Each structure stands twice: as structure tokens, then as C-alpha cells.
Amino acid sequence: MSTPTTDDSRSTPPSLAGFTVAITAARRAEEFAALLTRRGAQVVAAPAIEMIPLADDRALRAGTEALIASPPDLLIPTTGIGFRGWIEAADEWGLADQLMSAFGGARILSRGPKVTGALRAAGLREEWSPESESSAEVLAHLRPEDVAGRRVAVQLHGAIDGWDPNRDFVDGLTALGAEVVAVPVYSWRRPTDLGAFDALIDDVVAHRVDAVTFTSGPAAVSMLTRAGELGVRERLVAALAGPVAVYSVGPVTAAPLELAGVTSRCPERMRLGALARLVVDDLPGRTGELTVAGHRLGLRAAAAVVDGEICDLPASGLRLLKALAGGRDGVPGTVVSRADLLSVVGSDDEHAVEVAVGRLRAALGHREMIATVVKRGYRLAVDIP
């Protein structure tokens, strides 16, 4: 993957300064995190899933032996990592040469560029690949005369917790009259260490992150299912449908979220780099900025940014600033009474509010951003256009 040039970034603040982005990826998480932190984001990461080792998958071996015994007329691999892993697993079993011979007489349809690369690395050539990289387009491309009565091998991918992204595709081939040999090349399971994953779910539920990213459908299913086990599924869905932005690498990944009522933004190309660029381009526009006493103020889930610089605020100071930014009835710049701020600072002493406001002013570095309204309370000194 090419690295973006950084000449412009030296003169302008990182576009994700102050934002906290959650990563659920099991693969290439460090690479994805680097793309985001390079633009100023704070990243919290915990894998939502882990892959079951291919060579240990009994269903994969059974499918491999079935195709060697009766070679397919048509082969449809669906993921590059899955196809490569399939060949590697067959090699461990001493069956790679026999499997490749079985593929030798088959027509091959590739679901996308990564699959095509894996096929060609194995010495195979595809006859067609869909522009959309979707199984639906592969199905639409096939005619009954292509598959009726034919033996069709389909490399499956990504099932977890009863959710199977391959079901519609396999059912569609069967409806066209194909004899489908479905081969589950890999499957997913929950991470062995649930502590980090549970903490990530808690961060999302508590709105301590600005965005959460998904690079596979099983990761989304895993988060929703685990949240249900923890008794916070409704709160998780409310967070994902509200203040926490959701980004998915593609429509298949977004599908289980949509079933739960969560809208997810997807890049045009189903690539990690494209997903990172989407977050960089889209997330800052979701929050906007306030102009306060001539300064630009941006409020994030876990930070405040003044004139492009992240302020070092404790959690209590950030809560107070957000309460002032919300104003009365959600109108920035209106007065918030001392009585209303008592619950925010966690005290019943009005003097505690004065102390907390004084500390917040000092932390912001611009005391004029918070105005005192005598005998009433405080207000954020929002500039009125």
C-alpha cells in the first residue's frame, strides 16, 4: 500500500486531531491503526474475532477430499486469503497436487482482484471477475445453462454465531440447478481473551469513542452478540445509531449492522486504505466546530481541540465543557445555571462549580472562552454570526 505524502501535513493540523477511533479488525489492525494515527487520531483496538486455524478445520479437509474424488466443473473462490489458505492447508495434508489437478479442468470465476492474485499465484487463470467484487454480481452473470447439472465448488468465508454471508449465493446457485459443493475454507470464533473486547464495547456504549470501524461482517456480528450477553445490546445499538459514527469496509460487512438498525458508511472500493480515507474525510464533518471568543473549539468523545491543538483536559473538565457547550436546552452560548452544573462536577457546593470552571479556563488557555453571568451561572462565549 502506498504511503500518503506528508508535505502538506507539516503546515496543517492532522484532520483527525482529538478524535478517538475504535478498530475491531482481527487482521492488519496495526496497519489500519497507523493510517489513522498518522492523521492525528487516537486509536483503541481489540479484535472482535479470531480465525480458526485452517489445517485444523475438519470441514475444509472433507470438502477438499470430495473435490479431489469428483472434480468440479466450475470453481468460484471468494476471498484471496481464503484461497491461499486452502492451498496451504491442502499442502500440509499432502493433497495440494491432487487438489490443483482437480481444479485444472474447471472454469474459474474470481470474485475480485485479491482472489485473482491468489489464483494466479497458484498457477490458475480466471475467465471472469465482477467489477463490484460481489457474489451477487457473480450470480447475476451466470445463466442456467452455465450451471444446471454442473458440479460447482464455492469457497465459503466468514460464518460466525449463526450468521452466514454465503447463504444467498449458495441458494442462488442451487436454484439455477447447480450441484453445489460448499467448502468452508475458514471460520471465525470469539477472541480467546474477551477482556479487551468487552472494554472496547464499554467504550462504545459509554460514547468514549467518536467512531468504530468494521472490516468484516463476523466482527460486527460478534460485537452485537457479545453486547447481548453483557446485557448492553440496546445501548450499543443506540450508540452506533447516534453519537458514534460507524464505518464498514463494504456492504457485506455492513449487512449485519443494517439488520440491527445501524447505518454504516462504506467507501466505494472495499480496501483498507479506502476505509481509512473515508474516516479521515467524513468524521470531522460530523461534529463541526464552535467559534468561541474568537477561537475554534471542537468537542470530541474524549478530547477538546482549540485552534487545532488538543487540550489536556481531565474527564471531569471535559464533561463540564460539554455541559457548557450544550447550553440551556441544547443551545450553545446560553446560560447554564450553577445548580445545573452541580451534578456535572459531582458536588452540592456551589463553590465547587467556581473551582471547576477556574480549572477549565486555565486548561483551555483562553479564560475568555467561558463567561460568568452574575447571579445566574456560566456560558460558553460563543460568537454569534
Rounded Cα–Cα distance for residues 371 and 381 (Å):
6
Rounded Cα–Cα distance for residues 19 and 15 (Å):
9
Domain with CATH 1.10.10.10 in the chain: 290-380
Query: Are the C-beta atoms of residues 107 and 128 closer than 8 Å to each other?
Result: no
The pLDDT, as a whole number, for residue 161 is: 78
Closest CA relative to residue 357, chosen from 340, 372, 375? 372
CATH of 54-188 among 3.50.50.60, 3.40.50.10090, 3.40.50.300, 3.40.309.10: 3.40.50.10090
Q: Please list the alpha-helical segments (H only) found in 57-147.
A: 58-69, 80-92, 96-103, 113-121, 135-141, 144-147
The pLDDT, as a whole number, for residue 349 is: 85
Query: Are the C-beta atoms of residues 325 and 290 closer than 8 Å to each other?
Result: yes
Domain over 8-49+191-287 is classified CATH 3.40.50.10090:
yes
Extract the residue ranges of the chain whose pLDDT is less than 50. 1-11, 13
Rounded Cα–Cα distance for residues 88 and 203 (Å):
38
State the cell numbers at 373. 453571568
CATH of 290-380 among 1.10.10.10, 3.40.605.10, 3.40.47.10, 1.20.1440.230: 1.10.10.10
If phi > 0 it is left, if psi is from -120 to 50 it is alpha, else beta; for residue 143 that is: beta
Angle subtended by helix axes 338-345 and 350-364, to nearest 10: 80
* Cα–Cα distances in angstroms (integers) from residue 373 to residues 210, 338, 370, in the given order: 32, 10, 10
Rounded Cα–Cα distance for residues 96 and 79 (Å):
18
380 has which bridge partners?
A: 370
The pLDDT, as a whole number, for residue 154 is: 97
Rounded Cα–Cα distance for residues 348 and 179 (Å):
73
Domain with CATH 3.40.50.10090 in the chain: 8-49+191-287, 54-188
DSSP-derived secondary structure letter, 27: S
State the DSSP H helix or E strand holding residue 326, giving kind and residue range, or none if neither: helix 315-326
The pLDDT, as a whole number, for residue 9 is: 38
What string of DSSP letters covers 232-291? -HHHHHHHHTTTSEEEESSHHHHHHHHHTT---B--SS--HHHHHHHHHHHHHHHH--EE
Q: How far is Cα of residue 89 from the mean position of the Cα atoms in its chain? A: 29
For strands 336-337 and 377-380, give the pairing.
Answer: antiparallel
